[in-house]
Chains A and B, each alone.
Chain A
C-alpha cells in the first residue's frame, strides 16, 4: 500500500527529488552558513600549503620577482644540509623534553587539584594564570630573571655553581635548551592539566569507595582505577603537545633566536632564518612542507586514536 502511494506520487514528491540532488533550499542555506569558514580555510590554510609545495620547487630570492624552476633540488639541498639534520635532532630534543616535562607536571597538578580538600579554587586560579600570561610576557620576565646583572634566577644559578657569574644562562651552550624547555613548560603544562582534570572529575566516587572497602591502598586505587580512566586522554594530550612542540616557533625565537651558535635552532627556527635572513624562500618552503608532513602524520594518528567525528550527528 505504502510503497504504491510513493510511486504514484513521485512527481509530487517535492522534497526528496530536490533533496536527492542535494540542492534543496535547506542544503543551500546550510552550505551558505559554513561558507565563510571554508573560505577562511581555503585562504589561510589550503592555499598557503599548496603555495608552499609549489614554491618549494623554485629558487626564490625573496626580494627578486624572478623565480627559477629547480625541481626537487630544494629538497635535495635541505636533506644534505647539516643544519637541517641538527635542527631535526634539536627539534626532537625540544619536543620530547617539553612533552615529558609538561605531561609529568601537568598530570601531577591535575592529580593534586583533584585531591585537595582546601585551596582547590585558589590553586586552579593560580594554574590558569600561568596559561593566561601571554607568551611574550613569559619571555620578557624570563629574560629579566636570567639577566646577568640583576636576574634573580641568574644569581640563584651562579650561587649554586650551575653557571658562571658572567654567563648569560640562555646564551650558554649547555643551558639554553633545557631552560627554553622549562620556560615553555611553565606556561604550557596546564594544558595537560585541563585535559586530564575533566576526565578525573568524571570518575564516580563510588569506584573509590568500593576500592576502599576492599582495602586498596592509595597507590593501588591510582593504578587500578584512576590511571586506566585517563590513559586515553593522556595519549591525546601527548600527541597534541608533541605536534605543537615540534612546530613551536614563538617562545624559542623570542628567548634565544635559535642561539647560541644554533644550540636551540629547531626546524621552525631554521626555516624562518632561511627565508628571512638567508633570503632563500624556496628552501624555506621546502622545510615548511616537511613540517606540514609531520603535522599531517600527527593529524592522522589523532584521527585514528580517537575519532572526533563519531559524535557528529547529521
Chain B
C-alpha cells in the first residue's frame, strides 16, 4: 500500500527524474536574481524618471515623451524655481521646522534617556509603557483637536507649534533608543569622573554625551525623517501660505491650478529627495544601529 505513495516523494527529494539538482539550483537563482532585478527596477524607475525630467527643458517635458534624455533638451533651468515664487519660502520653512525638531528631539531624549538609564525611581516601568503608547499617536487624530487648541493659545501658524507636535511623535523611538544605548555605557566611567571631581552635569557632558554619539545621530536622523516627511501636521497646524512647509505648500499651489510645470516640480522634488539620501548614505552605520535597537 505504502509503496506507490512513497515513490513520487522519493524521486522528488532525490531530484532524480523530474529536475536535476543543477537545474533546480539554476531556476532558484533565476528567481532570486530576477526578483532582485524586478524590485530594483520598480523602485529605481520613478527616481530615474524624476531625475531625467528635472534636467529636461520644461517645455519638452510636457510635449514630448522620451525614455532617455537627449543632449539638446538637457538644462538646469528648472532649478530656477528655487529662486523666485513661493517654493523657496516653503523649502526654507521646512528646513527651519526640521532643524528645530532635531534639536528638541535630541535634547529631550538625551536627558530623558540618561535619567531612565541612571536614576532609580518608582513607576519607571509605567513611564516606559506610557512612552510606548506614543507609537500609536497618529497625526490626523491629534491634529484635528490640536487645531483649535493651538489657535486658542496662539501656536497656530507658528512653526514652533509644529516643532512641538513633531517632536512629540518622535519621542517614543528617540527616548527608548537613548535609554537602551546609555545602558550599554559602563557606569564606572561616570563614577571615575565624579571621583576626579567632575560634577554630575559636567560628567554628563564630558563622559556620557561623547560616547552616546551613535544614538544621537540615529535620533537626529529619525527626527529629520519625521519632520522632512510630514504633511498632515503642517497642513492642519500651518494653514497660512507664509508659514507652511514644502509638502502642504506645493500641494496647495498645484490644487489652485497655478502650478503645472512638471519640469519645475521634478527639479524641486529632486532637491528635496537629496538630503535624506545623503544623510542616510553617510550615516548608514548609525542608522542601522538605531534600527537594530528598535526592532529588538
C-beta contact mask, A132-163 vs B, less than 8 Å → 1, else 0?
Answer: 11111111111111010110100100000000
- Residues of B near A177 (CB, < 8 A) are none
C-beta contact mask, A56-86 vs B, less than 8 Å → 1, else 0?
Answer: 0000101000000000000000000000000
Whether A218 pairs with B138 at a CB distance below 8 angstroms is no
- Residues of A near B291 (CB, < 8 A) are 194, 198
From A109, A112, A122, residue with most partner B Cβ within 10 Å: A112
Q: Is A233 on the interface with B (CB-CB < 8 A)?
A: yes
- Residues of B near A38 (CB, < 8 A) are 127
Whether B65 pairs with A150 at a CB distance below 8 angstroms is yes
Whether A135 pairs with B120 at a CB distance below 8 angstroms is no
- Residues of A near B145 (CB, < 8 A) are 47-49, 51-52, 55, 285, 288
Whether A26 pairs with B119 at a CB distance below 8 angstroms is yes
- Residues of B near A130 (CB, < 8 A) are 43
Whether A137 pairs with B149 at a CB distance below 8 angstroms is no
How far does the Cβ of B131 sit from chain A's closest Cβ, in whole Å?
Answer: 7
Residue on A with the closest CB to B225? A132
Q: Is B251 on the interface with A (CB-CB < 8 A)?
A: yes
How far does the Cβ of A75 sit from chain B's closest Cβ, in whole Å?
Answer: 15
CA distance A71 to B39 in the complex (A): 53
CA distance A138 to B246 in the complex (A): 13
Q: Is B11 on the interface with A (CB-CB < 8 A)?
A: no
CA distance A135 to B199 in the complex (A): 45
How far does the Cβ of A149 sit from chain B's closest Cβ, in whole Å?
Answer: 6
Q: Please give the number of chain B residues whose Cβ is less than 8 angstroms from any Cβ of chain A in the complex.
A: 92
Across chains A and B, the number of contacting residue pairs, with CB separation under 8 Å, is: 261
CA distance A312 to B122 in the complex (A): 13
- Residues of A near B35 (CB, < 8 A) are 108, 112
Q: Is B292 on the interface with A (CB-CB < 8 A)?
A: yes
Whether A45 pairs with B273 at a CB distance below 8 angstroms is no
- Residues of A near B167 (CB, < 8 A) are 40
How far does the Cβ of A288 sit from chain B's closest Cβ, in whole Å?
Answer: 5
From A27, A250, A314, residue with most partner B Cβ within 10 Å: A250
Whether A33 pairs with B139 at a CB distance below 8 angstroms is no
Whether A134 pairs with B229 at a CB distance below 8 angstroms is yes
Whether B119 pairs with A44 at a CB distance below 8 angstroms is no
Residue on B with the closest CB to A251? B231
Which of B49, B53, B111, B142 is the one whose CB lies under 8 Å from A45? Answer: B142
How far does the Cβ of A282 sit from chain B's closest Cβ, in whole Å?
Answer: 11
Q: Is A212 on the interface with B (CB-CB < 8 A)?
A: no
Whether B13 pairs with A217 at a CB distance below 8 angstroms is yes
CA distance A247 to B143 in the complex (A): 12
* CB neighbors of A among B1-15 (8 A): 12-13
Interface of A is mostly: helix
Q: Is A186 on the interface with B (CB-CB < 8 A)?
A: yes
Q: Is B79 on the interface with A (CB-CB < 8 A)?
A: no
Given contacts A41-B134, A292-B141, contact A128 B119 (CB under 8 A): no
Determine, out of A5-13, A95-103, A165-173, A294-302, the stretch whose residues face the partner at the interface: A294-302
- Residues of B near A33 (CB, < 8 A) are 111-112, 114-116, 119
Whether B40 pairs with A133 at a CB distance below 8 angstroms is no
Q: Is A235 on the interface with B (CB-CB < 8 A)?
A: no
Whether B276 pairs with A133 at a CB distance below 8 angstroms is yes
Whether B232 pairs with A41 at a CB distance below 8 angstroms is no
Q: Is A119 on the interface with B (CB-CB < 8 A)?
A: yes
Whether A41 pairs with B168 at a CB distance below 8 angstroms is yes
Whether A309 pairs with B119 at a CB distance below 8 angstroms is no
Whether B272 pairs with A37 at a CB distance below 8 angstroms is no
Q: Is A204 on the interface with B (CB-CB < 8 A)?
A: no
How far does the Cβ of B97 sit from chain A's closest Cβ, in whole Å?
Answer: 13
Q: Is A180 on the interface with B (CB-CB < 8 A)?
A: no
How far does the Cβ of B133 sit from chain A's closest Cβ, in whole Å?
Answer: 6
Which of A43, A62, A298 is the one whose CB lies under 8 Å from B168? Answer: A43
23 residue pairs of the A-B complex, CB under 8 angstroms, read A22-B122, A26-B121, A30-B124, A33-B116, A36-B108, A41-B134, A44-B146, A44-B164, A48-B145, A48-B146, A55-B148, A123-B39, A123-B40, A136-B229, A141-B49, A144-B265, A150-B65, A233-B295, A247-B138, A250-B232, A272-B236, A285-B144, A312-B124
9 closest A-B pairs (Cβ-Cβ)?
A: A33-B115, A30-B119, A30-B121, A44-B168, A136-B247, A247-B138, A250-B231, A48-B145, A27-B121
